[in-house]
Amino acid sequence: MSVAHVALPVPLPRTFDYLLPEGGVAKAGCRVRVPFGKQQERVGIVVSVSDHSELPLNELKSVIEILDNEPIFSPSIWRLLLWAADYYHHPLGDVLFHALPVLLRQGKPASNAPLWYWFATEEGQAVDINSLKRSAKQQQALAALRQGKIWRYQVAELDFTDATLQTLRRKGLCELASEAPAFTDWRERYAVAGERLRLNTEQATAVGAIHSASDGFLRLVAGRRNRFRQDRSVSERAGKRPRPGQTGAGDGAGNRPDAANDRPFSRTF
């Protein structure tokens, strides 16, 4: 049988083993509901799955419910959280749960709430709008709906209310529908397009030295003029970024920036 090694939000530096239900699949990073203590249930996060445990399998309790089909953390965030727990010697369950919103900690579904909008029905598009002359608000609302759908959160910004739209709905002139929100990767806005900047001779020499460092530690290239702008330029063109726990502060010999340059250094790094 498959054994899930589960991190729980308790101050203990260990995971807890539970049997997965027959045919159940839980990936690392998925939430599960498990028994814990006397007549208690907890939401936990699967760290790994294997076919063995340090305890006899007949002594293990079973997972009550698998809450997620896919991990709730991206691969990069997952690696970061595992590293943080290890680096700071902090209980993994505590680290993982502090990275979750409250509702997800409580076991609520990790799904996106639909966005609701109003739209004019076929009858609403065809009806003579003057037939609503007794209600200027209804006329105004129907005219707006004929221009396109109106998101429900936008109604508060308009000159009519949700009650007006509900009245039109009862007359069959408009209807309420929903759709899943579209998500875009915010990083695309900041991606560098086109040809990459070329390094000059001195910058290329510095980048070569950085790349050749076997320990992967980043060093600050010190210069007398345009110091911080040049350092940032070299760093961006080299495509190098510090790994968690590393710093580029200093000149490679352990020297920190002087007080006069401390403020621009802070802004850059």
pLDDT, mean of each 10-residue run, the chain (269 residues): 92 92 89 88 94 88 91 92 93 94 90 88 92 89 93 88 93 92 75 77 85 63 54 50 48 47 45
- State the pLDDT at residue 254: 45
Q: What are the start-end ranges of the H helices in 127-181?
A: 136-147, 162-170
- Where in the chain are the domains? 3-105, 115-179, 189-268
- State the pLDDT at residue 216: 54
Measured between its terminal Cα atoms, the distance across the chain in Å is 49
- State the pLDDT at residue 220: 65
CATH architecture of 3-105: 3-Layer(aba) Sandwich (3.40)
> Token digits for 11?
């101050």
What's the Cα-to-Cα distance from 26 to each of 30, 111, 250, 251, rounded to whole Å? 6, 17, 45, 47
- State the pLDDT at residue 228: 45
- State the pLDDT at residue 251: 46
- State the pLDDT at residue 224: 56
- Distance from C-alpha of 199 to C-alpha of 237, rounded to nearest angstrom: 7
CA dihedral 219, 222, 226, 232 (to 10 degrees): 0
- State the pLDDT at residue 264: 46
